[in-house]
A and B are shown apart, each in its own frame.
Chain A
Amino acid sequence: MNSINEDIDYFKYPILIVDDDKDLLYSFYKEFKDTFTIFTAETAKEGLEILEKENITLFLTDQRMPVMTGVDLLKIARNKYPQIIRMLITAYADIDVVIEAINEGKVYGYISKPWKHEEIVTNIKNGINMYYLIKERDRLYQEKLDVMKRLASANRLNAVISMAFGLADRINNYLVAPNLFLEEFSDKFKEFENHLTEKQKESLKNLYSPGASGLNKMVNLSHEITNMCMPPKYNFQRYEPQIIIDIANEAVENLKAEMKDKEIKIGKEIEGSPPSTYFDRNAIKKVLFHLIQNSIHAISEITKGVILIKVTGPIYRSGKEFIRIVVQDNGMGIQEDNIENVFNPFFTTKGTSGGVGLGLTTSQFIITQLDGDIEIAHTEPDKGTTMHIDLPVKKEPPKETIDYKDILGQFPAKRK
């Protein structure tokens, strides 16, 4: 790293120098203030405060200081602010200190006192270059990771959708005959009832109801599956974040029955200044319904259940702007083994009472179609779960992202 990138405006990358020698700090400041933005600190403690508050790119520290040595400061900084480039200044030809600084403080370089002007400028510029390159590398890496994650999730989504369509189609076809049979059976039963013994009647009646209810469940299941991947035509409109709170209220209203007489505190708030964006009201309501429903289930065992619904933003990621909807509860959390599975179809922890396990899958479908992200931001057993929904801030109504013609074309449907 000997080449200095003169495209970088070094003034934009503040540096910090820590030394207990006031005169030295002053002369350093005077000598380099026209080249760099400089913060100074006389003690390690003061230095740490500046590292915390200011956006420091690089810091230099003296080794010999009362209370905390330079190497100890470097070690702390390395753990707390690994991105900041660290350098040691030492007047002593103490090779042990330098070795320790390199090994444990992972310093980028060291400068011996008294310094040479050009040496300092070159070293600091190189350090800032390194900071810039690492940051750029991390940003590109994150961007690439995001793209790959989205691609994988889109592929998975398409695979699940075409499977679900095919499955629902077959269920519906296979149900025609049993359905008509049960109807006919029920009619004929009434017609011939008088010819049957009490025992025969009883036995047929007892068989009829589980049969009918089983079929009914299949019909509902197939409806849920198709609804899951086939939302109604989206009606995109531009909404203020306050509308999301209104939508959450409606979803909570629809869930009143599930809350029963339980004392659940539901907080709603807007944090920061999330911008308005385009989305479909019903789609977001469906997602909030499922998330709040999961939260109600998660706090069903505790006495003081709290659910917080928050709209915040703007949030920037991979160069895009998002608003974030947070749904947080203080319930039982998601077991570690289950975290990977919660978005999978038919996965449920609610037992027989809680539906078929398509709520989060449906939500993920919807949010992905809206070009957003849904994720478990945090979960801890017996502490609660925080879900994030990130919706892109759009300046114009989005286009539908899933082409159903493609998906329909995909199934050759061999029914036999």
Chain B
Amino acid sequence: MNKPKILLVDDEEGIRLAVKYSLDDWFSVTSVATTAEARELLKKEKFNLVLLDIFITGEGQEASIETLKFITKEYPALPVVILSGTVSWMQKWDELKQLGASAYLSKPFERSKIKEIADKCISGQKMDTIW
């Protein structure tokens, strides 16, 4: 059986590599550094989940929010997990949920946590609490 496909959007190279290899047993992870690349790739390939950093260097928070809106509109079945290193975004979790996000994961995270959230979101669940 094919592994579910995850698209990771994060400008930090270390995160892209570490997440890819630590989830390799269960998921096929493709990663990009900008939201523009993400949109391009979404048009070409089918993914089961998007992990989206809320603050991409050089693009700012607006670009990530626009991308979240874009995915919700164009690919309503595709779950989006928000990744954030800034705790202050937690206060905006309600706002992000409204825009269609399925879960919120604080950095740094454990492998077991990201796997659990990925599994749940792919199976169609939406998470209320913040991890």
Contacts and interface: CB of A to CB of B under 8 A. Distances in A.
Interface string A26-55: 000000000000000000000000000000
A416 interface: yes
B17 A170 contact: no
B107 A175 contact: yes
Given A183-B111, A414-B57, A176 B18 contact: yes
Contacts of B123: none
B14 A168 contact: no
Contacts, number: 76
A412 B56 CA distance: 10
A181 interface: yes
A161 B15 CA distance: 26
B18 A169 contact: no
A404 B108 contact: no
Nearest to A187: B111
A177 B87 contact: no
Interface residues of B, number: 25
A155 to B, nearest CB: 20
B106 interface: yes
Contacts of B125: none
Contact of B108 (A172, A184, A230, A412): A172
A218 B120 CA distance: 29
A226 B88 contact: yes
B109 A176 contact: yes
Given A176-B14, A176-B107, A183-B22, A226 B87 contact: yes
Given A176-B18, A180-B21, A180-B22, 16 more contacts: A168-B87, A170-B85, A172-B108, A173-B85, A174-B14, A179-B110, A180-B19, A180-B110, A181-B18, A223-B87, A226-B86, A226-B87, A412-B60, A414-B57, A414-B58, A415-B11
Interface of B: 11-12, 14-15, 17-19, 21-22, 55, 57-58, 60-61, 85-88, 91, 106-111
Interface of A: 165, 168-177, 179-181, 183-184, 219, 223, 226-227, 230, 233, 404, 407-408, 412-416
